């Protein structure tokens, strides 16, 4: 067991509504956990209400614990880019405002370099006709969201699927990347 835990790493991403980021990561072999929460702000242990009010500086985010011997950070980055509009600095899809901004939060220098390389590859791909504005930032304290937000796609699948569809996220993903359900 000890050697497995040595391979466990964290990846943290902000991509708009955190509900929409859990399932895409959760389905990958090597993912140990995906936690919805808040990061990037100046208030300790913020609540959902405080974050939505926009006064704490936090964004909705997910923190993924993964086994790096099974799943690479490059793959995790790829999954992330396939879930967001990296050209939108003011939120994601129907969710507008500072708490819905995107970001890659790196936990070490290697993650930082890989994230920057992945942005370079996105730019070169020509998929987007606007500049990539998702920043790459050092990881900050991460605060898990309230329990009712955790694994929302499992707790209320009908609401989850309706929200994803109505938000415009799924249409965007299909337009830019193809089938929304692909890994």
Residues marked active site are found at: 17
Q: Which DSSP string do the residues of 64-116 spell out, in sequence order?
A: EEEETTTS-HHHHHHHHHTTS-TT-TTEETTEESGGG-EEEEESSHHHHHHHH
The upper half-sphere exposure of residue 145, i.e. CA atoms within 13 Å in the direction of its Cβ, equals 26
Name the burial class of residue 152, with classes exposed (0-12), middle (13-18) and buried (19+) by CB atoms within 10 angstroms of its CB: buried
Name the burial class of residue 57, with classes exposed (0-12), middle (13-18) and buried (19+) by CB atoms within 10 angstroms of its CB: middle
């Amino acid at each position: 067991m000890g050697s497995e835990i040595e391979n466990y790493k964290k990846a943290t991403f902000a991509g708009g509504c955190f509900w929409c980021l859990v399932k895409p990561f959760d389905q990958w072999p090597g993912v140990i956990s995906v936690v919805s929460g808040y990061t990037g702000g100046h208030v300790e242990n913020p609540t959902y209400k405080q974050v939505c009010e926009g006064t704490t500086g936090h964004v909705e985010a997910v923190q993924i614990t993964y086994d790096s011997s099974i799943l690479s950070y490059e793959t995790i980055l790829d999954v992330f880019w396939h879930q967001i509009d990296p050209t939108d600095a003011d939120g994601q899809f129907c969710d507008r405002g500072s708490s819905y901004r995107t970001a890659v939060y790196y936990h070490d220098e290697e993650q930082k370099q890989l994230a920057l390389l992945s942005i370079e590859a996105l730019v070169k791909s020509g998929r987007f006709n606007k500049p990539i504005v998702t920043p790459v930032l050092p990881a900050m304290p991460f605060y898990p969201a309230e329990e009712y937000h955790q694994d929302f796609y499992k707790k209320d699948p009908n609401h989850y699927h309706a929200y994803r569809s109505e938000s415009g996220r799924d249409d965007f993903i299909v337009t830019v990347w193809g089938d929304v359900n692909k890994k």
